[in-house]
Amino acid sequence: MIQMNAFAQEPVELRQQMLSAVTRVMESGWYVLGKEVQQFERQWASQCGTTHAVGVGNGMDAIEMTLRALGVGPGDEVITTSMTAFATVLAILRAGATPVLADIEPDTALLSIESVRRCVTSRTRAIVLVHLYGQMRNMAAWTALCAAQQLALIEDCAQAHGALWNGTAAGAFGRAGAYSFYPTKNLGALGDGGMVVTNDAAIAETVLRLRNYGQGEERYHHSEVGLNSRLDEMQAAILSERLKWLPEFTVRRRRIAAAYRAGLAQSLITLLAEPDDDAAHVQHLFVIRCKSRDRLQAHLLARGVQTLVHYPVPVHLQKPCRALARDPHGLSRAQQHAESCLSLPCHPQMTDGEISRVIDAVNSFSIQHGTLRHAV
Ligand SMILES: *Cc1c(COP(=O)(O)O)cnc(C)c1O
């Protein structure tokens, strides 16, 4: 089976580096909020070109704490996309704010700026922009809109580790960027982890307190109602090692995506728009669309290709979110995308042979269903 992820096939050298990182932490006798976290925070801030980075428990908490640090809470509206991981919207709800759901651009599945404009009210305080599937686009337009409307731009970078738009990293455009290091992300821990990156010292200071029960400089003195959301030493040490491999792994993801673009026959299936610039897409997921998606998925599974759907149910159709405010024009594009999208395997351990097998399996579906005019 060609899997969506194949951690067991990672290089032996990486495994040894992670083992020595684990040993280092064990022998240090210090497991929470120590020098491994500080070192990895410095490394990740430097990677993102921001002045601050604060390690937290996961990507969802990173968004919640960023909103809270910005003073966004009850009574405030936060606009985001209906086509995202549920965690994006859950974080807004956890911050006590009101999510407002906007529609997507059909050719990229990214948040539509026109739809967002229709969602803005006098209560709108922030936009959570999700760099879905690893794509960054139109950052100049987003920063301009937020500046003009006095809205805080928060970037959900959980799928965009290493992405650059015009030379600037994901997370460095907005007031803050939220990263997840969930194992399947482009930079993943061996458990949960997250990070808030920002150029705003006040946001960083607040998140430092919030992640640790709202405790300030003085131990056991709590100035606010915080969370327990810390990146632990073991995960930080492992992430420092894995970070060394990120550039090489990203190159590999781009190679796979390029091979898919060149090899997949577009008749029954369609591809998302190509990135304007390779650097602005880290190919976290390679997503295609197909009207008979479920049949295609079964066809691929029968040929040894695992696939997943990101995401089968848009946020506005999730039970706790059905009453949320949304674009007055509706969210039909997010819905159509949810009904037709399919993520093909695209991970750094894939071999050239596996890439070809995936391409052949997808193309055989088109041939079988008779719509492929010229066989490839
Ligand atoms: C994974 C993900 C999150 C949540 O990250 P966790 O670390 O699992 O909490 C948020 N937003 C997006 C777009 C994600 O892909």
What percent of the chain lies above the pLDDT cut of 70? Answer: 98
- What is the Cα–Cα distance from 269 to 115, expressed in whole angstroms? 26
Q: Is the CB of 67 under 6 A from ligand 1?
A: no
Q: What is the mean pLDDT of residues 95-101?
A: 98
pLDDT band at 217 (very low <50, low <70, confident <90, very high): confident
Q: Which atom of ligand 1 is nearest to the CA of 182?
A: 7
- What is the Cα–Cα distance from 119 to 229, expressed in whole angstroms? 31
Q: Is the CB of 85 under 6 A from ligand 1?
A: yes
**What's the mean per-residue pLDDT of the chain?**
97
pLDDT band at 376 (very low <50, low <70, confident <90, very high): very low
Q: Is the CB of 80 under 6 A from ligand 1?
A: no
Task: Please say whether the beta carbons of 178 and 193 come within 8 A.
Answer: no
Nearest CA-CA partner of 365 in 291, 305, 295: 295
Three-state DSSP class for residue 16: helix
Residue 374 pLDDT exceeds 80: no
Residue whose CA is at the smallest distance from ligand 1 atom 15: 158
- What is the Cα–Cα distance from 318 to 99, expressed in whole angstroms? 13
Residue 120 pLDDT exceeds 70: yes
Q: Is the CB of 84 under 6 A from ligand 1?
A: yes
Cα 371 to averaged position of ligand 1 atoms, centre (Å):
37
Cα 199 to averaged position of ligand 1 atoms, centre (Å):
22
Residue 329 pLDDT exceeds 80: yes
Residue whose CA is at the smallest distance from ligand 1 atom 1: 158
What percent of the chain lies above the pLDDT cut of 90? Answer: 96
Residue 311 pLDDT exceeds 60: yes
pLDDT reported for residue 71:
98
Cα 128 to averaged position of ligand 1 atoms, centre (Å):
13
pLDDT reported for residue 16:
98
Q: Is the CB of 152 under 6 A from ligand 1?
A: no
Q: Which atom of ligand 1 is nearest to the CA of 132?
A: 13
pTM: 0.97
- What is the Cα–Cα distance from 263 to 344, expressed in whole angstroms? 13
Residue 280 pLDDT exceeds 60: yes
Cα 179 to averaged position of ligand 1 atoms, centre (Å):
8
pLDDT in tens, 15-37: 999 999 999 999 999 999 999 99
Number of H helices, E strands in the chain: 12, 13
pLDDT reported for residue 267:
85
pLDDT reported for residue 371:
61
pLDDT reported for residue 373:
53
